[in-house]
Amino acid sequence: DWNGQPLIFTAIGDDGLRQFAFVPVDSLLEPGQYPLNLGYITTRGDFVQRAWPVQVESGPYDYQEIVVSEDKAAVLTPDVVVAERERVVETWSQITPSVFWEEPFERPIDTDYPTTSPFGTRRTYSVADIGNFHAGQDFGAPEGTLITAPAPGMVVLAEPLAVRGNAVIIDHGRGVFTGYWHMSERKVEPGMWVNTGDVLGLVGNTGLSTGAHLHWELRINGVAVDPMQFIDEPPFVGPEPAATAAP
């Protein structure tokens, strides 16, 4: 386990002797040392336990204040916000053991459209109980811009939500999920299989949004992590573990 959170291991190779697991670090975790505990059975049948202290450093996160219009704030009652949070948490808590991708993730929107708010930005809202950090990557783009799948996976949620607007969630396997919020239109339905580059929907300004953009979110075992890591430095690609993967 990592800091009390169980890790899910997947075998690498035909012999099953090598395993990897993602270790997602919550961006709100205080800097310091945290325990990584592993137990395994050797080829001789011996059970071995090992522990390592893992140093967590502070991230270079900015601060941002979000002012929500009165008409949007009026519908975001505490009951609505909590119910929606429970809905999405339930969705990405269903772990599929298989890994559905073999290549680095692709950007879900054309490179012409810049990042307008990066992952991890500390936020305050004019609406209470929405959240205190930005759990995804925002790309500013005109309404109607295509949003595409960054990697293969199964659509597990596609519906309108109060905070997230028109939303889609994809299960990529091994506890990895991606979310796409504030769409003007959805082009997929739950149960559909998508391949890299398939159209998921169109950029919009629905839900708790102050302008047309795509919010792209990536969760590992329910923990929000920077989705750009899967593009810039993919932690696991194909049959071999990358250098950053846990043994």
- pLDDT, tens digit (0-9, with 9 covering 90-100), for 19-50: 788 889 888 889 999 989 988 888 888 999 99
Mean pLDDT of 78-86: 89
Kindly report the CA angle at 85 between 81 and 87, in degrees rounded to 5? 120
Residue 243: pLDDT above 60?
A: no
At 180, which helix (H) or strand (E)? Answer: strand 176-183
State the DSSP code for 98: S
Tokens encoding 124: 């305050």
The per-residue pLDDT for 120 is 85
pLDDT band at 8 (very low <50, low <70, confident <90, very high): confident
Residue 204: pLDDT above 90?
A: yes
Kindly report the CA angle at 223 between 54 and 160, in degrees rounded to 5? 170
The domains located in the chain, with CATH, are 10-58 (no CATH), 63-232 (2.70.70.10)
Within 10 Å of residue 17's Cβ, how many Cβ atoms?
A: 9
Residue 234: pLDDT above 80?
A: no
Q: What is the pTM of this model?
A: 0.87
Instruction: Evaluate whether 92 touches 222 at the Cβ level (below 8 Å).
Output: yes
More confident residue, 167 or 132: 167
More confident residue, 79 or 154: 154
The per-residue pLDDT for 141 is 97
Mean pLDDT of 211-226: 95
| CA gap 124, 130 in Å, rounded | 9
Side-chain half-sphere exposure of 4, counting CA atoms within 13 A: 1
Residue 221: pLDDT above 80?
A: yes
Q: What is the pLDDT of residues 105-129, one digit of tens each?
A: 999 999 999 999 899 888 777 665 5
Q: What is the pLDDT of residues 55-77, one digit of tens each?
A: 999 888 888 777 777 777 777 78
Q: What is the average pLDDT score of the chain?
A: 87
The per-residue pLDDT for 19 is 78
pLDDT band at 236 (very low <50, low <70, confident <90, very high): low
